[in-house]
Structure 1
């Protein structure tokens, strides 16, 4: 009988998987890989055998079904997968169907691997325009969640049962609230309710690129139990 990876003790195999499949930075899943030079596609016809610049070597998953079953949880469970483009301002200028894109990704990797996901990074959920005229009192105005953003958060709740950490990246202008504390609170409550429906979450981290559009927003987010970080 020839040598096999399974001749090694489990702890040694796990060290090998970590060296090949776990990185310290997010793995960007982008629909525009030509624009996002750090993006990586882990499935489909562009599945790489290695990505030296990212120090990621997913080809080991193809060694055998047994290796795939044992190693996949390290790839999907120990990395942070990012649906934010490598430049957060791209998400504002070049919006894409993030909900459909992520649902497609889960469909390809399958429910077992989807169940391994622990940490995901997303652009701040997009809010639509208020559904009442600006002359309406702000307490009565409603800010709907954009369809693709709602689909994405609903997919997390329904198909990612072990998701623990949600990192949210925001840039100036992601809120349509015009800086009013009442309007900002109303708009944020829509996002907060949808995020709160992801029962497995233990931590929500919001990174703002540039100054907050309203200082009041920070207090509102902290009140939801979120961690707010300013990135200059």
Structure 2
């Protein structure tokens, strides 16, 4: 008896075990290139090879893979020391083509302003392009999560005590509300524990961030805060998921 001979209800249960994760499917990208390939961990418990067994299984299993998982995309590090970063989503969405319409949940980095601070409120061009791509391809998206990692060494002026931060947030809210399929907008902040070692500017930035969280709640967004353990500073040139050969071998280029 082959898998195709098993009743559809049982096949779907098997596909769900192989293709649906309780944790987000997290992609990483190499630092350096302007448009690097995306990778995911080999041992994340996902087995997309089942999609290539037969056309029938691909048709039956694909909706589970794309609609039942949460897809977490990285930011791309720019070549300039203080340049803005943006979510790197286009390689994956272009690769899967029309199947992007099955996606319900995407997590991208929160947009950033770094030095020099812009003179007026705006959505960064790269971020605006990403939102347009999501709207055009993920036509049934229901949840968009925006992740803001802790940035103790590089201030994100989009979350700082500046008028443009409030104005830019209004622009972002208006843009997100134009994606009509969206039911939930989540602003997820990762923060380090409070400590006396924080400088005055850092305290002001954190106070402003919490004020902006209240504004997000008033928009109807869900606001989530995750406290992280303190970590030592690592220069941008030295970080990433491919620090050595062992790390590099733990990742596969995306193949869905």
TM-score by length of 1: 0.75
Superposed, which structure 2 residues align to 1:6-85 within 5 Å? 6-32=4-30, 40=40, 51=42, 53-84=43-74
Kept in 2, the 8 Å contact 1:185–1:217? The answer is yes
What stretches of structure 1 of length at least 5 have no aligned partner? Answer: 34-38, 42-50, 86-91, 133-141
Kept in 2, the 8 Å contact 1:177–1:183? The answer is no
C-alpha separation between the residues in 2 aligned to 1:177 and 1:76?
32
1:156 to 111, 114, 134: 134
Whether 1:201 aligns to 2:182 is yes
SS at match of 2:40: coil
SS at match of 1:169: strand
C-alpha separation between the residues in 2 aligned to 1:200 and 1:145?
21
Between the two proteins, the alignment pairs up a number of residues equal to: 197
What stretches of structure 2 of length at least 5 have no aligned partner? Answer: 32-38, 76-80, 193-205, 228-256
RMSD: 2.6
1:174 deviates by 2.9
Kept in 1, the 8 Å contact 2:159–2:212? The answer is no
The structure with more strand, counted as a fraction of residues: 2
1:213 deviates by 4.5
1:165 to 125, 140, 143: 143
Look up the match of 1:225. 220
TM-score by length of 2: 0.69
Task: Sort the Cα spacing of 1:32 and 1:131 in 2 relative to 1 into closer, same or farther, 3 A.
Answer: closer
Task: Sort the Cα spacing of 1:93 and 1:55 in 2 relative to 1 into closer, same or farther, 3 A.
Answer: farther
C-alpha separation between the residues in 2 aligned to 1:122 and 1:74?
21
SS at match of 1:201: coil
C-alpha separation between the residues in 2 aligned to 1:153 and 1:22?
25
